[in-house]
Amino acid sequence: MSSTAALQDILELVRPELSRMDQELVEDLRPGDPSLGPLLEHVAGYRGKQLRPALVFLTGKMFGEVAEAHYTCAKVVELIHTATLVHDDILDGAVVRRSEATVNELYGNEVPVLLGDYIYALAFHMAVSLDDPTCARMFSAAVRVVCQGEITQCLHRGDTDWNEERYLQVISEKTASLYGAACRVGGHYADASEPQLQALWSFGEQLGIAFQIIDDCLDLTGEESVVGKSLGTDLGLGKLTLPMIHLIGNSGDRRERLLQMITDPQPGRGFEELRQEFDVEASVAYAMGRGREFVEGAVRALAELPEGSARDAIGGLAEYVLRRHY
Amino acid sequence: MSSTAALQDILELVRPELSRMDQELVEDLRPGDPSLGPLLEHVAGYRGKQLRPALVFLTGKMFGEVAEAHYTCAKVVELIHTATLVHDDILDGAVVRRSEATVNELYGNEVPVLLGDYIYALAFHMAVSLDDPTCARMFSAAVRVVCQGEITQCLHRGDTDWNEERYLQVISEKTASLYGAACRVGGHYADASEPQLQALWSFGEQLGIAFQIIDDCLDLTGEESVVGKSLGTDLGLGKLTLPMIHLIGNSGDRRERLLQMITDPQPGRGFEELRQEFDVEASVAYAMGRGREFVEGAVRALAELPEGSARDAIGGLAEYVLRRHY
């Protein structure tokens, strides 16, 4: 079974909830001013794997029925994710996202800065529509942490002293905090206990770290046609991800040569040359092993939570993260 | 008396509140990760006239004592304003802000995108710390409207069919909505009645519209050394502000010539040439007259609110907006 089909299978349990959420988001993204119509429609097409809203629904279902607040939380986390994508594409100079031109490619860099802000504000406004402020508090705190991680990464581009500890700290902030928050709010609005909420956060955080590690591996060894972008993109942007940190750490007396290739790549063929001279695959294998350890940690955190089909599905999601190809 | 001294005089009534707010913001902007330290310190230097937090405190004082919630609201609106400045500087390619280099000038465009997001998230997180969700609801709604106005303006850059009605709509969104919200939350957390809250909103909205009209006039006829940027900046960016809309509407059979000068300006001397051939001053006078009408409307709205020193100060603020030179 392809990893896409496997994911669809896992999400079957919350398919009705995800469909309703999708329909509501189309309504929520209706513009206040008609000029914004084409922009918001374009961005509505960005929604992809829906992992974060699925986590809200699945963690909710672990403790009983999905409540109205879960729909709000699911939409909030999906909108926040969409806003980060719109802004990330500016940072990365990306031209294509999910087979469509990015907003920066279509409109230059100004419109997507504002559009991302608009979507963030929409998400926060939606979050504070709930009487219980937990959703708004969790997600506004999480966005701050996400941005902190992204800024730290940005400020350390091309920093060849970057190490595994700092890398894990940054991905925990920029990626895992939103996963942790999604799982915790799902439990919160289903009246989970505080120890259960902590287990949910721990599950989400470790899943998010694993997700990002695998993402960074796919950037180096995925199939371009499946991943949907050129290999070595992170490297070209000066982002030193876990496999590259490992490669540098194990380059011995060829360290200078490697750093030179990384910091001053030959346009176009730089990454291919690097793969010929250095054992990138071994370092990717190391990073995948680390990713597997975080998935195992996530699965262990699940053991403290109520058994049932929701917990099985969420465990399946963790396994999927390791197997995915895009 | 200079307009700066006049403003200081008007704000005297809320000087202790503004000072405490300033001190608290330094604490609130302390970074979670040390890498962010220099960035956040830099941005802390952006705080300027403090009109928006002053409106929160003054509208609160109209109805009695300033409460703790007013400090939160004042910090939230100042942080939101700071975030919009950080993002605006990217859009405008600005290199200097309040005599300091902009974040985009120092770090490129990526860091300020994320830094603006970080400050927005900090503001929202602060807003939802209050038990009463009004602050968070008002400001998240206002930010959405601000972004909508900015996006509409961006999409219509260089659109010579732009007219006064659309211009007023856009500045009402991008500028006045934050003023309206600042005044309304000030009254809300001082237990003002619904008709009073509506009068406060109306005051703030009209003040904000007037403020933006004057800002747009200063871009054409201010003193560069006082305004702190080159004249004709908006025009160079394709933003057609009220004086230019009026100039185009009254250019008669020289309309084509004017549009040509606007849409294809000669670098450097384009605006000076335009001023020699067309009566820019008359159109600025027209726009200033419209600004005055909005200030008069704002002052009329004040009549429905409790008399006293706070109302006097806030009326003085409205008059200051017309007289200011930067």
Q: Can you tell me whether residue A87 is helix, strand or coil?
A: helix
Q: Cα-Cα-Cα-Cα dihedral of B315, B320, B322, B326, to 10°?
A: -150
CB contact under 8 A, A148 and B113: no
Residues in chain A: 326
pLDDT at B270 over 70: no
In this predicted model, which residue has the larger pLDDT, A239 or A76?
A76
User: Which chain B positions have a beta carbon within 8 Å of A137's beta carbon?
Assistant: 125, 128-129
For B287-298, the pLDDT digits (tens) are 999 999 999 999
C-beta of residue B47 within 8 angstroms of C-beta of residue B25? yes
For B107-147, the pLDDT digits (tens) are 888 889 999 999 999 999 999 999 999 999 999 999 999 99
C-beta of residue B137 within 8 angstroms of C-beta of residue B127? no
User: Which chain B positions have a beta carbon within 8 Å of A35's beta carbon?
Assistant: 151-152, 155-156
C-beta of residue A239 within 8 angstroms of C-beta of residue A219? no
Complex-level ipTM: 0.93
CB contact under 8 A, A147 and B110: no
Measure B208 CA to nearest chain A CA, in Å. 20
CA distance B27 to B11: 23
Q: How many CB atoms lie within 10 A of CB B174?
A: 23
Q: What is the pLDDT of residue A136?
A: 98
For B28-56, the pLDDT digits (tens) are 988 878 888 888 888 887 767 899 999 99
CA distance B87 to B103: 9
Nearest to B147 among A117, A131, A152 (CB): A117
pTM: 0.93
Taking residues A112-123, report their average pLDDT. 96
CA distance A219 to B108: 24
CA distance B123 to B125: 5
Rounded alpha-carbon distances, angstroms, from residue A175 to A187, A214, A262, A302 = 20, 12, 25, 20
CB contact under 8 A, A128 and B137: yes
In this predicted model, which residue has the larger pLDDT, A109 or B202?
B202
With tokens 């400045």, the residue in question is B85
DSSP string, B29-61: T--SSGGGHHHHHHHHTT----HHHHHHHHHHH
Across chain B, mean pLDDT equals: 90
Long-range contacts of B224-232 (CB under 8 A, 24+ apart): B226/B325, B226/B326, B227/B325, B227/B326, B228/B96, B228/B98, B228/B99, B228/B326, B229/B94, B229/B96, B231/B271, B232/B270, B232/B271, B232/B274
A251 touches chain B (CB under 8 A): no
With tokens 């029925």, the residue in question is A65
CB contact under 8 A, B151 and A122: no
Which chain A residue shows the shortest CA-CA distance from B107? Answer: A155
Write the CB contacts of A215 (distance below 8 Å, at least 6 apart in sequence): none
User: Which chain B positions have a beta carbon within 8 Å of A104's beta carbon?
Assistant: none
Taking residues B11-29, report their average pLDDT. 94
CA distance A197 to A246: 34
C-beta of residue B229 within 8 angstroms of C-beta of residue B216? no
Which H helix or E strand runs over A26? helix A15-28
Taking residues B177-181, report their average pLDDT. 98
C-beta of residue A124 within 8 angstroms of C-beta of residue A140? yes
CB contact under 8 A, B114 and A141: no
Q: What is the pLDDT of residue A267?
A: 54
Q: Identify residue A212 by its one-letter amino acid code.
A: Q
With tokens 């986590």, the residue in question is A55
pLDDT category, A233, cuts 50, 70, 90? confident
B166 touches chain A (CB under 8 A): no
Q: What is the pLDDT of residue B2?
A: 72
CA distance B246 to A238: 49
Q: What is the pLDDT of residue B42?
A: 84
DSSP string, B263-323: HSPPTTTHHHHHHHHS-HHHHHHHHHHHHHHHHHHHHHHHTTS--SHHHHHHHHHHHHHHH
